[in-house]
Chain A
Amino acid sequence: MGMRAYIIRRVLLFIPILIGVTLLIFGILQFFTPEERASAYITGTPKDPSVIYRIIDKYHLDDPVHIQYYHWMTRVLKGNLGIAQSAGNIPVSSALLQGIPATFELVIFAIPSIVLIGIYLGVKSAVHRDKLTDHSTRIVSIIGWSLPTFWSALILIAIFYGGLGWLPTGRLSNEAYGVVTSTDFVRYTRINSIDGLLNGQLWITVDALKHLILPVANLTIVSIALIIRVMRSSMLEELSKGYITTAKAKGLTTNEVINKHARRNALIPVVTLTGILTAGLLTGVVITETVFSYKGLGYFAARAALQMDIPSVLGFALFVGLMFGVANLIVDVTYAYIDPRIRVT
């Protein structure tokens, strides 16, 4: 079948977009003078102004645009994105790498939460159309969609941390942090819930998971409305199609008709949505991590924005653009897997 050919075609299409992403970031960089751009590569302000000029020379920051781009891309590919002043003067690329495990851990739990709950509620709403389930789900999801991420985060903290004292903020409790950073503990992945398991310290995993509940809940509340709405309307559309009558006429139970036949077709637009969902997640992560003091990529980016740390913000944007492109690629391939008709196009 055309699956392999389709994948190859998609990957080929991906490359110009990648280049486009780098071009856009490079374009934004051009808003700064060569001196400003040079200072991105040093820590603090130099006592000797000639340092700046040497950098401008070395990195070709004042050359014609196409030559600049070439040199800039070479630097980027080697991992040199400048120095992150807001993160303690470490290289931007290090700061990004440091933040990845934490954000990954958050996203890895958030996505299934949003998608599974969203699909479930969407199907239920469609099947019980215009009844109480449908209306209440819709109202709850509109409310969720209207909540400012930082506001809902603060409310969650006020209720569950301040008020009830059930759930904590940050990534780990102090004791867990102590153990994780000690020499006995091997940080294989830097993802605490997994490292806890790999080190045989289950309570670390539990601790990490406890700290994840509130941020994941926040991300879910804010992002779920879209999935529910699309799943619902997609399901409604499928339920009115001919093959549903065929399935019923075969004598299948209502559950079989909904879950085996309708849902699979209804999922198709939702898979496309996962791309948009990831975008929303990455956005939500910036704010959520900040409010919950969850030190991942989002936290890093927000702090950089506050302090106007340009290389960090732009480096972060570049990184996210690339990641997002990859995510979309995966979404397209999954789409082709589910819907065999797509493989022909």
Chain B
Amino acid sequence: MITMKINKSVREFKKRMKPTIREWKFMLRRLKDSPLSIMGATIILFFAVVAMLAPVLAPPATDDPYRMPHEGWGRVPQPPSSEHIFGTTTGQYDVFYGCIWGTRTAFRIGFEVVGVSLAIAIVIGSISGYYGGLVDELVMRFTDIIYAFPGLILAMAFVVAFGRSLDSVLLALVLVGWPTYTRVVRGEVLKTRREDYVEAAKGVGCSDLRVIVKHVLPNSIYTVMIMASLNIGAVVLTAAALSFLGLGAGSYYADWGQLISNSRDYIMGTSGDTLAYWYTWLIPGLFIFTFVLGWNLLGDAFRDILDPTIRRR
């Protein structure tokens, strides 16, 4: 009896989701065709594997794996050797270790910032778009004010106020990022709330919350979720910039931007040889670049697929 009921609801769910599933299938097919997106996906997959294998590739020295190991406090970075494959930074932090565990940090920064920004945006955006009026005005003015600042600069101000730490960076990036997603959600909600099926739901007596969650949101969050996941690259770039400026977690923390920031006095090399300490910035920078590139490639492919003028050609 119960299994029959479950089967029935599964079938009904499948039927309801059929057009959505068809859309996703169409998108995935288009994605497979695009070499750029395959490259992007491969890159991200590679980093995911590295992140997962971190404890194996670079065994932590202490309880906190994000504390980079260092032998001594020597200021001069050491070139790559058999002991330190990628060399060391100022303070003798192992670059290889930092790069491996920094992968985890990068994923963490990307997902946490985007995830929280998205959550905030969905809540505030849908309320703002759905109810309109004074609430909407206030939210819009608020986002206008945040928009009045370039992202990194406002983030700098926030981190300076909150104090240097990884959490400050995360919080600052969320504060700087939520308006963009909120506006998109709000826009979509504004469009959907005029649709007939929303009026119908209200007419039948559904509470506002139910209407929003069940009817308005599913159609509105499509775009913004894709947009958000593709911004992960940009978020990681900004976080790296903040670390580079010395506003990151601290010299001991395994983070790509932090690695470079540690050796800031040496990245320009010596007066004779600019590349004297190339390993301190070229390698971590390469990690950052490739990681962001992977997300951006995927993002570009997605954008093309979602672009209505190119969709059904």
Contacts and interface: CB of A to CB of B under 8 A. Distances in A.
B296 A142 contact: yes
Contact of A154 (B160, B246, B267): B267
A162 B150 contact: no
A162 B245 contact: no
Contacts of A143: 293
A158 B275 contact: yes
Contacts of A172: none
Q: Which of A24, A145, A154, A163 has the most CB of B within 10 A?
A: A154
A263 B273 CA distance: 47
B161 to A, nearest CB: 4
Interface stretch (A51-59, A179-187, A277-285): A277-285
Contact of B285 (A148, A287, A306): A148
A129 B137 CA distance: 41
A320 B158 contact: no
Q: Which of B36, B158, B245, B275 has the most CB of A within 10 A?
A: B245
A29 B297 CA distance: 39
A283 B145 contact: no
A345 interface: no
A25 interface: yes
Given A143-B293, A158-B278, A317-B156, A150 B241 contact: yes
A320 to B, nearest CB: 5
Interface residues of A, number: 57
Interface in B113-168: 141, 144-146, 148-154, 156-158, 160-162, 164
A31 B162 contact: yes
Nearest to B244: A150
A236 B185 CA distance: 26
A272 interface: no
B71 interface: no
Contacts of A286: 152-153, 156, 241, 245
B157 A28 contact: yes
B307 interface: yes
A138 interface: yes
Which label, helix, strand, loop or mixed, suits the secondary structure of the A interface?
helix
B150 A28 contact: no
B262 to A, nearest CB: 12
Contacts of A269: none
Given A146-B293, A148-B285, A157 B274 contact: yes
B161 A31 contact: yes
Nearest to B280: A154
Interface residues of B, number: 50
A158 B281 CA distance: 11
B288 interface: yes
Contacts of A220: none
Contacts of B156: 286, 301, 305, 313, 317
Interface in A281-328: 282-283, 286-287, 290, 301-302, 305-306, 308, 310, 313-314, 316-317, 320-321, 324-325, 328
Nearest to A233: B307
Interface stretch (A2-10, A14-22, A204-212): A14-22
A138 to B, nearest CB: 7
Interface in A231-288: 233, 236-237, 240, 278-280, 282-283, 286-287
Contacts of A320: 149-150, 153
A287 B160 contact: no
Given A151-B289, A287-B244, A301-B153, A324 B148 contact: yes
Interface string A134-146: 0000110011011
B144 A279 contact: no
B207 interface: no
A157 B300 CA distance: 29
A131 to B, nearest CB: 15
B247 interface: yes
B233 A146 contact: yes
Interface string B290-304: 001100110010000
A324 B307 CA distance: 30
B145 A148 contact: no
Contact of B237 (A21, A142, A148, A155): A148
B152 A146 contact: no
A142 B300 contact: yes
Interface string B242-264: 00111100000000010010000
Contact of A305 (B145, B160, B288): B160
Nearest to A315: B157
Given A146-B296, A162-B274, 15 more contacts: A24-B149, A31-B161, A32-B161, A146-B237, A148-B241, A148-B285, A151-B288, A154-B267, A162-B269, A163-B274, A229-B300, A282-B153, A305-B246, A320-B150, A321-B148
29 contacts: A16-B141, A24-B145, A28-B157, A28-B161, A31-B162, A142-B296, A146-B293, A149-B241, A150-B241, A150-B244, A151-B288, A154-B267, A154-B268, A162-B273, A237-B309, A279-B149, A283-B150, A283-B151, A283-B152, A283-B241, A286-B152, A286-B156, A287-B244, A290-B245, A305-B160, A314-B157, A314-B161, A317-B149, A321-B154
